[in-house]
Structure 1
């Protein structure tokens, strides 16, 4: 057969598969007209060669004209079923590789995939030749076949499979029924660093990284015990201790009775792919200059946080900080100095934020700060002032001291918007307005929030002034014994005498002091003022009971014992003269941080009381570890006594628990004789409240002590 004829045969086969039906019949008719004589010669001719081997004869159009017994045995079709069909019905795949290989490679011997009548697909060795008529013209194609697998002995198969396993570029590990390694290949050693001698006899735990949970390990182990094939990614540990990611497939081998004899793991080191993935992820989500999240990642993080905020009904805010004069720096000192300045700005902002806040760079001169959980909307203004104040200080870069101008715009969730893109757009709009006003400050997107922020700022300024000008003072609320009725202590309570507004309730300015950090200065003043007053009473010969001083959680650091001792020394007081009251919110910081500080204070001889017990974080498991001498029942559980069943149950439980822990019990907010009688019946030690006395000035409290005023126990 010449090349032109064979190409036409190949084209016809493709067209027959592609078009089918009448179009195929027309295409065949065209070729049959050219090859009529050759086809007439070929039909009816029996194939030459070995009668036992599978032999198939086709006309030049690909239709089967002869089918011997060997072909019947191999394919399962009888001659009557096969003759007249196109040879494509035997193909495993819809392709025409036979003629194509014959044509392009010039070879009549090849390996192909075929399909038996049963549906089984197998590999066959195919020898293709051309049969000619008496004139030498092509008349038919003759295919002689043999199934490849039939030519492999069991020993050959074993050698082949062993060679494949050993030469595989994937690590292979085989364990026995006791999960002991019995075989590894060369790739296992190359990937893990363990030789076969080091691995065999061990368990796969020699590769354990320690990064996966117990549930994950149980899932993998279940696959090794026959729960079913498992595929996934696992972090392993090389012999040198290096952790590496691997793609793993795990399955088992069973004997004739279905019992598991071995398990095998096939794995690849995917470190390169993971590193590439991380690089792509970083390029997509992080600013290349500062390493901070970019706009894309910021939007994703804020979007996720908003979903959480909706469920928890909390507030959030987004700040856009616009930096000016960057272009002048670049124009004057060059790009390198400008880049370093941008990085320094990012570092300075980052240091001032909480770990849960998100700082992003959204373009050359703009940063964004996402405050994902704030208690009050006004807190965003406090943060903005702090950040802008930090940027006001000069930046030292090389020999240059550089200054920048900055403004901030703030949008608040959920008032301004419910999605990240809108919040960012609105904060940017507010920053633009702040830039136009030119005062270097910040603005909220909402006019109402701007008004409230200004009020917030005004009160903060006046509180700072009040602290400096002596407008703060302490009142003292006595604690009375429920056994004797005598005064056994007092709590120092902060008051602010405003020159214009009179006495400002603590609930209005204490939260503001906490937010702004002013509570540290106020707390230090309260400690010193209380100790000064106690020393003054002692100088007058007045023996006052211990005075309780409230501490903010922000004051509770490892320097606190030293600060307390310094004030006691300053006024010549013993530690028994004061009590320090802390709230349950302090315990949220974690016992491992709080307990050492509390132990140090207790070792000094300072008594510790847990205020507002039951209203916040109450970990009874840790409570016994805290060196607390006093528990105070919060007024919210006292107000319903003795008529409210739940309040009674809570009060009873607190008293019982404190008695078991040998702690003193004080009830706050007691206002009626019925409340007092119920608490006294429970075994409560002391009460504090308007039933006995409101908070009073220092002189009034001293007079009560002098007169030995007592609670009427009835």
Structure 2
């Protein structure tokens, strides 16, 4: 008995070894779990497919642990636990076949079956190639379907048993078939019966018509015929048999072609009744050149009755309407020589005294014996065409809105004026005019109102100059004046004053009162330049100076101005390169809650790493604003600030606000709200974690529009902070109606609150005012412990300055964000309260009140 048991065990062991060897030869992965879901057998292929190097998977390993080992390779980090739970749930089924798309790109079919004893056997089959073939076949099928649907003709295909196997959407449209009619396998006979029953096979018994049509289709030859639907639609049907017995049928909507053919037939019939000529009216003379026939259209040209003209000489009729005796003489010679003529042009005056341009063509007529019988011909009135050509020439050189010369004509007249001044030894003043804040008119009142303003401005400018001067619209809201015969620069100054006074008068406009102003740049020939292009450049530099010095003024060109403009242009070029080279950086300055000492916000401050020297916005913000680069730079600041906030959160920092400054130009951009929403969406930063800082001057400028934009920003959840409070003259009414979350006290008031009773009282008043408006109050420029304590005692909510922390890069600021209290809250050692904790020079705000992100 013992020997028999040993023999059986030996036999079982040998069988198991053979089984293991056999499992190692199969191309699929294989593993077996016992009824307790512990691994008892696995082949090498399964280890390879599961990414095991021989140590991660072991005999006795629980099934759930195997799943957690494989989870990173199958599911993304956010869904791994979900995947494990779903597999455990499926594992309870007696049989599973699951196609898994692993993260390395492979498709693996997991075939799982539970045995009678509760054990589970699993096969892993790499089906990547199969899936790729299925995808490729699906792509080809979709491509074919899309191709068929984009063909202009309707297409259907029947198999050799005349059953429908394919069709496109155009067939359904041409046939106007009901939904669900077309389906694979429908017989051709059913389609023919459907057409017969709705009258597409003609009048008569539908059953008879259908049988006749079915018999024609059974012939199996190429067929082409037209069908007319009851609604009048005509389509051409072409059936082509295929070698394998299939049949392809195309349907082409030829309704428009049929209509065009009918129209052509009508037109041809009409043309047969019209004399073959291209002119407007027809005439005929006898052998003495007396008019014997004249069509009624002549009256439209000459305002004369035909009866008054017939019987008179053609030369006489034309000559009495023109003063061009040379044309009359040449025309009379042509008639005397009995030669054909074409396009002889006359400038005549009709009975109403209007000038008209007439073109005559004619040929001599001879009888069968060759005797001269007279002339027969046609004439046309080209007045409208010539006037249209003149209008086109005018439009090519004039602005269609104002009627003023355009830039092209302006350049021509400038060159002529300079040439005349050179001959006459006089001067020319080139005056460039740019309307101030014209964009605001378009944005608030609409473009039609803007066009009316431009028209009025053009009229007022024209009234400021002499007849020898030129006023032109150069484009948009830019105008130019060429002042000739200038003997003294004061002539140009007086012209500038006239322009300023004229534009200062209000313009009534659709219930609104609009007042315009302009920036004016002046350059003089020959003192500032001798070439037209250079003179324009110099006037443009002067215009730029007028705009940069507050607008609503005029400036003359000077050599020093040229150097300044060149420097400005170089700075703008460097700014453009700075964006491309990623030379802009952000620094962050913390803001703390005065009661807890915890950091509640950081202000984003823009820096430019220019050749290793870190510049703050004071040095380049004006160039950024005047060049328009402020928009792209400001957008970068917002994206970088939001991106850094998310990075801090990912590194375990607590949630804090990030504030970004907006300049007035950014704020007036109608795309501002959309840009902010896009950045918030892309970065994932909640709107309530972003704060927008504006200045008092912006709040006072157009308060109604400013409040509207602030309200829109506030509605999406943004915090609004009023920066540098105290430097302007804020209206309490405006403050009351504006959604302000924080008021930031300017550092100039914070500095002396411990030593100046007036500043102390002012700060206390701002705190009280802010709280009364429902806003929190932030003190900027806090440099000492004494200031910190005083502000806290006043009830000020938050503070910012070197005592709290100087501006630092993201890496340096991160440890401060992670600390609970960044500065000591209790009393300071003797003398320490008078010394800023930060070592950098500045007023605690680091000259960073300028936008964007300053």
| TM-score, normalised via structure 2 length | 0.37
| TM-score, normalised via structure 1 length | 0.43
